[in-house]
């Protein structure tokens, strides 16, 4: 790794930040995963024997909450760029809070589903319900990884390691978090259209 | 497995420690050879692991070939090896299915995906693009260790009391989802899924690294159109893996939920012993769609790296520029693109809409075009070349032969109407074993023989290489050509016993013949193994560039240390295929030689660069 810091290499070889490029490739693979799930959903739905039920109302609120957290994240990123470290910390904490609020809301959504007798597994479960749990669950799993990333960024922000000269970390976090928000909006619109 | 790695690397490297940079000396043994972040060590780790798995997978095929070739015989001599899987000299039928399943899984994923891409992408990408190492050495290391854990779990599953997964390497539900269906679908299948999930993580970590390294870390002057074809093929392989493996992960996840959490994604209306299962509403064809969306690109993940390896070796040893360099890249791009829109040709008889079948048939047959471009270019490169028949070259030429013979039957199988007769017969087995199994193995052998001097600083023994080649090459045709014949007769694959069918009884001799050929060909691999391990320690010492090749890895010292080049990175001025250029004093001009030094051989348009 010491080799990588060699100016010789930096000058001649680095076209895009490799870590940023890697993050984008990982995002591509996550997109493929959800492409598989949602196309499986459509194929399966076309075959009939499909339980129709109402989406939990809380999902709409969750969508707004996650959108807000993306706005906070962008605010944090802009603050870091402008070296406004006080706003940076506030914005990052708001982002995390909104992220956790989203997760709590999703959990509540699952509770609502169970109350309406829409189960993940078991003898009364229909794939239409199971798919909803899988889509929200796998998204929530990725959101948790995003939150872990955010917490790392917050810790380094409190140690004054995130500022306009040291943006790499928060930039990656920003991309990932916006991606998770966009992914959820896609899933939500997809679910609304297919219900 | 790891213990072999340790002792080998130690002996290989102890002789040349003085070559290493200063900061290497404070690395402990474990950091340097086990949890190494150096791409060359990781490549060797993948190679040793791949060889280990290839021996296991090959042994399994010999075992089930024994059953097919000698259905009446008793195999009491196998009892010490297989224990209760041989009862009274008869192979247990469920164990036979487990052998077939594990043979497929091991060969496709652990040998020809991890062993092939893992070895050559890791070893050659930084060396051929003039980089010190991969974009992230740490992720590269993680990639190997995820693969290692996946290997341990898969290996452990072989020793389970209920046996390893036995529902075929394609693990179609409901067979793979219900432990009542076959004992291998119990704990064995669970471990298969866990192992494959870890394997996919390993492939994604590796693939992300390969793509990033090729895009970002090429040395000065090395544009994408000056890349060796090896790098193009590794790059496209990684792109395919990045897009296809997540889909397999999705399918595996849904299958895990069906098996362990009571969902019904793939299961519906099943009666076991007269009792209805609680699963309703699932669709088994859905799994086939998800599986083959990975499964088809997967066969190109297996074969693409060898396209690159073979192109490179053929050009070097024919002492001629590769014919149609841009067409080679274009055809690889075409194949990579098409590989994503042909998956349903595996499902013609699954009850799929026949109209959809004809669309997929049309797209499948188009793949013949870029494949034919590649074959034509390889043959045109060989045409009137000044050919050196090194073992690597023989394996490469044989690769072209196998790719043609296996590819032609692909055109037959791609027809949805013909597939009704041929589906799940030995014709299919023969087809893919030639075009992807044997061909990829030949490409891998070619790569090992060719790059062995750069990996271990010594040469492999040529005569043993020739022996290995001829027995393997003849053996492969003797095994798979007769299989086409019995396949056309309708002989089904995956049957433990066929002597009960009058139609197939007359193929007794042919099956025995195939088995004998298979065992001889497998035995010949021990010449390779002996040669490989012997040459690591005792082989003739290699020079820096033993094949007089143009690419950058041959400009490194005999044993490249950490960081690959002791001095500054090489700068690239030309494409990698300036062999036998008219007017040049030597028959090769390495990529890092500027045009100002080769005025006698420069072409008119190259004079501008002098």
Q: What is the pLDDT of residues B7-60, one digit of tens each?
A: 333 333 333 333 444 444 567 778 778 889 999 999 999 999 999 999 999 999
Contact A13 B219 (CB under 8 A): yes
Alpha-carbon span B500 to A130, nearest angstrom: 44
- Residue in chain B closest to A13 (alpha carbons) equals B217
- Residue in chain B closest to A36 (alpha carbons) equals B247
Strand-pair partners of A163: A166
End-to-end CA distance of chain B: give it in Å, rounded: 52
pLDDT value at residue A9: 45
Q: Given CB atoms, is B282 within the 8 Å cutoff of chain A? A: yes
* Residue B594 maps to a domain: no
Contact B281 A49 (CB under 8 A): yes
Q: Given CB atoms, is B526 within the 8 Å cutoff of chain A? A: no
- Residue in chain B closest to A51 (alpha carbons) equals B281
Q: Is A19 left (phi over 0), alpha (psi -120 to 50) or beta?
A: alpha
Q: Given CB atoms, is B566 within the 8 Å cutoff of chain A? A: no
Domain region containing B520 = 2-268+278-577
11-40 in chain B: CB under 8 A from chain A: 23, 37
Which residues are within 8 A (CB) of B7 and not within 5 positions of it... i.e. 6 or more apart? none
Q: How distant is the Cα of B143 from the closest Cα of chain A, in angstroms?
A: 14
Contact B247 A126 (CB under 8 A): no
* Residue B427 maps to a domain: yes
Q: Given CB atoms, is B477 within the 8 Å cutoff of chain A? A: no
* Residue B585 maps to a domain: no
- Residue in chain B closest to A49 (alpha carbons) equals B281
Pull the structure tokens for residue B593.
Answer: 């030689």
Nearest partner of B238 among B327, B369, B113, B65, judged by Cα: B113
Q: Given CB atoms, is B111 within the 8 Å cutoff of chain A? A: no
- Residue in chain B closest to A39 (alpha carbons) equals B290
**Residues listed for chain B:** 610
CB B577 within 8 A of CB B315: yes
Residue with tokens 């001889």: B520
Alpha-carbon span A103 to A178, nearest angstrom: 16
pLDDT value at residue A15: 57
CATH of residue B53's domain is 1.20.210.10
CB B35 within 8 A of CB B141: yes
The shortest CB-CB distance from B563 to any of A3, A15, A18 is to A3
Segment B317-357, tens digit of pLDDT? 999 999 999 999 999 999 999 999 999 999 999 988 889 99
Contact A122 B278 (CB under 8 A): yes
CA–CA distances in Å: residue A154 to residues A17, A27, A68, A91, B59: 22, 22, 18, 10, 54
Alpha-carbon span A36 to A39, nearest angstrom: 5
The shortest CB-CB distance from B263 to any of A13, A49, A125 is to A125
The shortest CB-CB distance from A121 to any of B244, B247, B262 is to B262
* Residue B608 maps to a domain: no
Local confidence band at A2 (pLDDT 50, 70, 90 cut-offs) = very low
- Residue in chain A closest to B223 (alpha carbons) equals A13
Helix (H) or strand (E) holding B276: strand B275-276
Q: Given CB atoms, is A86 within the 8 Å cutoff of chain B? A: no
Total beta-carbon pairs less than 8 A apart between chain A and chain B: 136
Contact B208 A22 (CB under 8 A): yes
Residue B538 CB neighbours (<10 A): 9
Give the three-class secondary structure for B582.
coil
Q: How distant is the Cα of B267 from the closest Cα of chain A, in angstroms?
A: 10
pLDDT value at residue A10: 43
Q: How distant is the Cα of B236 from the closest Cα of chain A, in angstroms?
A: 14
Alpha-carbon span B281 to A121, nearest angstrom: 12
pLDDT value at residue B6: 39
Contact A3 B132 (CB under 8 A): yes
pLDDT value at residue B12: 39
* Residue B590 maps to a domain: no
Q: Could you tell me what percent of chain B has a pLDDT over 90?
A: 81
DSSP secondary structure code for residue B559 in this structure: S
Q: Given CB atoms, is A2 within the 8 Å cutoff of chain B? A: yes
Residue B299 CB neighbours (<10 A): 19
- Total domains in the fold of chain B: 1
* Residue B174 maps to a domain: yes
87-126 in chain A: CB under 8 A from chain B: 120-123, 125-126
* Residue B588 maps to a domain: no
- Cα three-residue angle B347-B352-B358, rounded to 5 degrees: 80
* Residue B471 maps to a domain: yes
pLDDT < 50 stretches in chain B: 1-24
User: What percent of chain B is helix, strand and coil (3-state, nearest 5)?
Assistant: 65, 0, 30
Q: Given CB atoms, is B486 within the 8 Å cutoff of chain A? A: no
Chain B residues with CB under 8 Å of A46 CB are: none
Complex-level ipTM: 0.91
Q: Given CB atoms, is B133 within the 8 Å cutoff of chain A? A: yes
Is pLDDT at A3 greater than 60 in this prediction?
Answer: no
pLDDT value at residue B26: 62
Which residues are within 8 A (CB) of A191 and not within 5 positions of it... i.e. 6 or more apart? A55, A59, A132, A135
11-50 in chain A: CB under 8 A from chain B: 12-16, 18-19, 21-22, 25-26, 28-30, 32-33, 35-37, 40, 43-44, 47, 49-50
CB A102 within 8 A of CB A65: yes
Contact A120 B261 (CB under 8 A): yes
Which residues are within 8 A (CB) of A90 and not within 5 positions of it... i.e. 6 or more apart? none
Helix (H) or strand (E) holding B91: strand B90-91
Contact A36 B251 (CB under 8 A): yes
Which residues are within 8 A (CB) of B198 and not within 5 positions of it... i.e. 6 or more apart? B146, B147, B149, B150, B153
pLDDT value at residue A46: 87
Contact A49 B244 (CB under 8 A): no
Nearest partner of B482 among B131, B65, B10, judged by Cα: B65
Q: How distant is the Cα of A43 from the closest Cα of chain B, in angstroms?
A: 7
Chain B residues with CB under 8 Å of A37 CB are: 250
CATH for A26-193? 1.20.120.80
Residue with tokens 């500022």: A163
Alpha-carbon span B520 to B438, nearest angstrom: 15
Q: Given CB atoms, is B131 within the 8 Å cutoff of chain A? A: yes
Alpha-carbon span B360 to B272, nearest angstrom: 35
Nearest partner of B516 among B475, B467, B474, B472, judged by Cα: B475
């Amino acid at each position: 790794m010491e080799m990588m810091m060699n100016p010789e290499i930096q000058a001649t070889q680095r076209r895009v930040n490799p870590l940023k490029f890697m993050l984008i490739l990982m995002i591509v693979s996550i997109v493929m995963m959800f492409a598989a799930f949602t196309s499986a959903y459509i194929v399966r739905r076309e075959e009939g024997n499909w339980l129709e039920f109402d989406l939990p109302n809380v999902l709409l609120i969750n969508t707004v909450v996650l959108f807000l957290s993306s706005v906070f994240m962008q605010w944090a990123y802009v603050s870091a760029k402008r070296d406004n470290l006080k706003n940076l910390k506030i914005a990052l904490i708001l982002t995390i809070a909104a992220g956790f609020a989203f997760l709590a809301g999703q959990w509540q959504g699952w509770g609502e589903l169970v109350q309406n007798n829409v189960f993940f597994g078991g003898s009364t479960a229909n794939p239409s319900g199971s798919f909803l749990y899988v889509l929200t669950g796998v998204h929530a799993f990725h959101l948790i990884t995003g939150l872990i990333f955010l917490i790392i960024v917050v810790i380094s922000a409190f140690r004054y390691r995130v500022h306009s000269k040291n943006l790499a970390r928060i930039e990656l976090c920003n991309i990932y978090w916006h991606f998770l928000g966009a992914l959820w909006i896609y899933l939500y619109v997809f679910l609304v259209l297919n219900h | 497995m790891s213990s072999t790695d340790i002792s080998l690397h130690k002996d290989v490297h102890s002789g040349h420690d003085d070559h290493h940079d200063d900061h290497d000396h404070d690395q402990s043994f474990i950091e340097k050879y086990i949890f190494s972040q150096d791409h060359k060590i990781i490549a060797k780790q993948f190679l040793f692991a791949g060889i280990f798995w290839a021996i296991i997978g090959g042994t399994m095929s010999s075992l089930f070939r024994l059953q097919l070739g000698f259905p009446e015989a008793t195999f009491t001599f196998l009892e010490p090896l297989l224990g209760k899987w041989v009862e009274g000299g008869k192979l247990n039928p469920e164990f036979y299915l487990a052998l077939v399943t594990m043979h497929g899984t091991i060969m496709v994923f652990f040998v020809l995906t991890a062993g092939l891409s893992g070895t050559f992408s890791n070893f050659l990408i930084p060396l051929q693009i003039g980089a010190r190492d991969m974009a992230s050495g740490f992720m590269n290391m993680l990639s190997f260790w995820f693969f290692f854990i996946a290997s341990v779990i898969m290996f452990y599953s072989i020793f389970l009391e209920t046996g390893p997964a036995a529902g075929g390497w394609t693990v179609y539900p409901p067979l793979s989802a219900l432990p009542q269906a076959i004992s291998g679908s119990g704990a064995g299948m669970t471990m298969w899924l866990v192992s494959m999930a870890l394997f996919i993580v390993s492939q994604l970590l590796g693939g992300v690294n390969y793509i990033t390294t090729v895009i970002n870390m090429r040395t000065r002057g090395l544009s994408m159109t000056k890349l060796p074809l090896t790098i193009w093929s590794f790059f496209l392989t990684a792109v395919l893996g990045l897009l296809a493996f997540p889909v397999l992960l999705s399918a595996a996840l849904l299958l895990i939920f069906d098996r362990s959490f009571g969902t019904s994604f793939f299961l519906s209306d099943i009666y076991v012993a007269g009792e209805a299962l609680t699963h309703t509403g699932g669709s088994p064809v859905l799994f086939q769609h998800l599986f083959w969306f990975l499964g088809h690109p997967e066969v190109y993940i297996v074969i693409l790296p060898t396209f690159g390896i073979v192109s490179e070796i053929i050009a070097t040893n024919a002492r001629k520029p590769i014919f149609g360099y841009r067409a080679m890249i274009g055809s690889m791009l075409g194949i990579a693109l098409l590989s994503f829109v042909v998956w349903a040709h595996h499902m013609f008889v699954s009850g799929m809409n026949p109209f959809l079948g004809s669309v997929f048939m049309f797209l499948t047959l188009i793949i013949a075009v870029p494949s034919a471009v590649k074959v034509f270019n390889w043959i045109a490169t060989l045409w009137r070349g000044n050919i050196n028949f090194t073992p690597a070259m023989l394996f490469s030429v044989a690769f072209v032969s196998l790719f043609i013979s296996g590819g032609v039957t692909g055109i037959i199988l791609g027809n949805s109407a013909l597939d009704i007769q041929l589906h799940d017969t030995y014709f299919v087995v023969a087809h893919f074993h030639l075009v992807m199994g044997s061909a990829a193995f030949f490409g891998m052998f070619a790569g090992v023989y060719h790059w062995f001097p750069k990996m271990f600083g010594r040469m492999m023994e040529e005569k043993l290489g020739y022996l290995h080649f001829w027995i393997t090459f003849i053996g492969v045709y003797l095994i798979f050509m007769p299989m086409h014949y019995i396949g056309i007769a309708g002989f089904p694959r995956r049957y433990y016993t066929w002597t009960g069918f009058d139609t197939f009884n007359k193929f007794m001799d042919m099956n025995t013949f195939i088995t004998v050929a298979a065992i001889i060909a497998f035995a010949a691999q021990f010449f390779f193994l002996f040669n490989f391990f012997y040459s690591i320690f005792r082989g003739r010492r290699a020079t820096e560039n033993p094949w007089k090749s143009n690419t950058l890895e041959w400009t490194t010292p005999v044993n490249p240390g950490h960081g690959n080049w002791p001095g500054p990175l090489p700068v690239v001025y030309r494409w990698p295929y300036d062999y036998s250029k008219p007017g040049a004093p030597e028959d090769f001009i390495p990529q890092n030689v500027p045009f100002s030094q080769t005025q006698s051989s420069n072409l008119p348009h190259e004079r501008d660069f002098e």
